Amino acid sequence: MKSLLALTLLAAVAMPTLAADAADAAGAKPDLAKGQASSQVCVACHTVDGSRGAPANPILAGQHAEYLVKQLTEFKSGKRANAIMSGMAATLADGDLKHVAAYYNSLKAEPGAARNKDLLLLGEKIYRGGIAAKQVPACAGCHSPSGAGIPAEYPRLAGQHADYAEAQLVAFRSGQRANSAQMTAIAAKLSDKEIKAVADYMAGLR
């Protein structure tokens, strides 16, 4: 009985300490130096500064840290399917995800430009006003008129590669990308031309 009582008292003393340690770890400020070190595995596809690399890969510089953590976590869990990114995310501990996300967020995104003049007006119309006939909401409602986005849920779209943005909208439409019910429902109502137009327009936002 004495041994049991001692163990009970020890546990009672230790639990608050463990809880405090866990809270400290969860609320710890991201370390940009650690994030930069962890980002070395990202360089091949996203360039050293996470900026204007291959159009098929997203620009990470200036992206919201909370959004990046969410996406990396979902790659890691399999909720967002991508063989390459799932493998990369699996190598990062949960704490490292926050560090690398904060590092990319700290970098300045370089401005992009729309390329398709024929679709520019259509892209602007969809982004700023949606498509009433199809019940498609304006992209600006969630991603802001400037494309700055809202941390955690809505990514920065300004200057993003048009090729990448188009590919993601097509993936949402087909169900291949299934980690946002909201975007799946919206993309399902867009034609190829409308997707191409709005993706190109967003590339020129700044």
Q: What is the pLDDT of residue 27?
A: 62
Residues 81 and 155 in one domain: no
What mean pLDDT is predicted for residues 25-29?
66
What percent of the chain has a predicted confidence (pLDDT) above 70?
87
Residue 18 lies in a domain: no
Is 1 inside any structural domain? no
Structure tokens at 108: 């300045």
User: Which run of H or E residues covers position 22?
Assistant: helix 2-27
In a domain, 6, yes or no: no
Does residue 188 lie in a domain region?
yes
Structural domain harbouring 161 = 120-203
Question: Looking at residue 191, which CATH number applies to its domain?
Answer: 1.10.760.10
For residue 26, what pLDDT is reported? Answer: 52
pLDDT score of 67 more than 50 = yes
**pTM for this entry:** 0.85
Q: Does 1 score more than 60 pLDDT? A: no
Same domain, 129 and 196: yes
3 SS3 class: helix
* Number of domains forming the structure of the chain: 2
User: Does 132 fall in a domain?
Assistant: yes
Residue 190, pLDDT above cutoff 70: yes
Whether 135 and 83 share a structural domain:
no
Nearest to 154 by CA among 80, 85, 64: 64
Same domain (yes/no): 164, 198:
yes
